[in-house]
A and B are shown apart, each in its own frame.
Chain A
């Protein structure tokens, strides 16, 4: 069965510091992988996705993620954190079957300190 593990339910960084949010997945087929962001009192918004093209994927707001098959990882990074990046981040993998369900990690709450 497919699964997603997000290491660290809470991450705190200083403004201007590197953001690294970790995601590991298990999948028996080539995965489609996604990162979503949820700002306070809002729905989830797609940040970026990997769909078997380039392994380094660039998303919105300066975020990017690298698909590493050998490590079954899809970590999210941003070189310099802004206060506005404070949010909940979710990693997801697309179910291998035809039902297109997303399998979700439990989320990582990112705090950005001034």
Chain B
């Protein structure tokens, strides 16, 4: 099993719909991150969490919300999806500054 699992892998949704992307990890890491990736823009941080009770906004949090249900689970929600939220979304975890991040395989989201 993968260390960081994202579901679904692909999703097509309609404008205005609420959608949740899920991330779970077996690494035992305390910190978790949500990024979106767009061609030419690299990785943009949406939200990050230091532990279950500590949630922080990233660079582009507008239109998104998150929930850290447990140390191992970190969900990203789009309350009312819009087409410019079409992107590749990645979850990542970390435990130590020297170790960098462990990434999930990503969720490709299309909003039509």
Spell out A's residues near B (CB within 8 Å).
9, 32, 34, 36, 42-46, 49, 51, 90, 92, 94, 99-102, 104-107
Pick the residue among B40, B96, B106 that contacts A9 (CB under 8 A).
Answer: B40
The complex places the Cα of A100 from the Cα of B31 at a distance, in Å, of: 9
Task: Known contacts A9-B40, A90-B42; decide if A102 and B105 are in contact (CB<8 Å).
Answer: no
Q: Are A49 and B98 in contact (CB under 8 A)?
A: yes
Q: How large is the interface on B (under 10, 10 to 19, 20 to 34, 35 or more residues)?
A: 20 to 34
- B97 contacts the other chain (Cβ, under 8 Å)? yes
Q: Are A43 and B103 in contact (CB under 8 A)?
A: yes
The complex places the Cα of A34 from the Cα of B96 at a distance, in Å, of: 13
**Chain A residue at smallest Cβ distance from B100:** A34
User: Within 8 Å CB of A90, what residues of B?
Assistant: 42-43
Given A46-B101, A92-B100, A102-B101, 5 other A-B contacts at CB below 8 A?
A32-B98, A43-B4, A43-B103, A44-B103, A100-B94
